Amino acid sequence: MNAAPTPGLLASVADLHEMELARVGGADIVDLKQPAFGALGAWSSESLTAAVMLWNAWEAQDVSSVRPLLSATAGDQPMVPALLRAAAERVAATGVPIVKVGLFASKHTNECVEALAPLASRARMIGVLFADQRPDFAILASLSRAGFTGVMIDTADKTAGRLTDHFDALTLGQFIAEAKRHGLMSGLAGSLALEDIATLAGVGADYLGFRGALCSGGRTGRFEPERLAQVRARLLAQAGG
């Protein structure tokens, strides 16, 4: 059986300076998230607009290297269809190419996904599930029907352990296989640490997402280029087998 391809590295950043550090450090996806505002804390529209301008400038400045993808989180929103749609549309309106929307535990998840379908037809949307909220993976079919680009598992309560404390590699591999079956790009995140890479690099995810592991002083602390370099080196070393 062929080994799973090496997952890409998603680095969540809290400001434009960290955005540059993530690019220089080789992140494959630069994810605009304000960790001080929760699991999927959102940047302001003005900051997102500036980030899109910087991202476009990268394209113009350096055509030799591959520009990282750019995503942004829509905030820890209540699972009310109209509110979730408005939050996602605000982010998409700034020109950010990939919008990450948190699907927190709720009886209204399917309604929320349906409410996002019109936006998913014109913007690349990623639905974020939360391992510490025991998500129902049946939602993957709804995300696919609604036109979502991808799905990821993260953790909502950053004091309640890492992703690998909630799901083992076998379960995560089944989630990834189900996402692929539904044509969804897949990501794993949730207080991931260096030592999680060996466990997760082979489960077939398209990317692994990091924030806490990239910072000194925890996820709301200082982004450290050396930490990003360590995570990237560990990922690439896993590729080498």
Ligand X SMILES: O=C[C@H](O)COP(=O)(O)O
Q: How far apart are the first and last CA of the chain?
A: 14
Query: Which pair of tokens denotes residue 2?
Result: 């062929």
Is the CB of 110 or the CB of 175 nearer to ligand X? Answer: 175
Burial degree of 240 (CB within 10 A; 0-12, 13-18, 19+): exposed
**Contact pattern from residue 170 through residue 209 relative to ligand X, giving x for each residue in contact according to CB under 6 A and a dash for the rest:** -------------------xxxx----------------x
Among 26, 28, 30, 31, binds ligand X (CB under 6 A): 31
Report the residue number, 8 or 204, with the smaller CB distance to ligand X. Answer: 8
Pick between residue 12 and residue 77 the one whose CB is nearest to ligand X.
12
- CB-nearer residue toward ligand X: 22 or 123: 22
Told to check if 68 binds ligand X by CB under 6 A, we report: no
Closest C-alpha to 214, from 11, 76, 7, 9:
11
Measured distance CA(233)–CA(222) in Å, rounded: 20
| Contact letters for ligand X, residues 126-155 (x by CB under 6 A) | ----------------------------xx
CB atoms within 10 A of CB 192: 24
Phi, psi at 63, each rounded to 5°: -75, -10
Min CB(33)–ligand X separation in Å: 5
100 is catalytic: yes
User: What x-and-dash track marks residues 86-125 binding ligand X by CB under 6 A?
Assistant: ----------------------------------------
Q: Is 223 in the site for ligand X (CB under 6 A)?
A: no
Give the C-alpha separation, 40 to 101, whole Å.
8
The pair of three-digit structure tokens given for residue 41, joined into one six-digit string: 């804390």
List residues with catalytic annotation: 33, 100
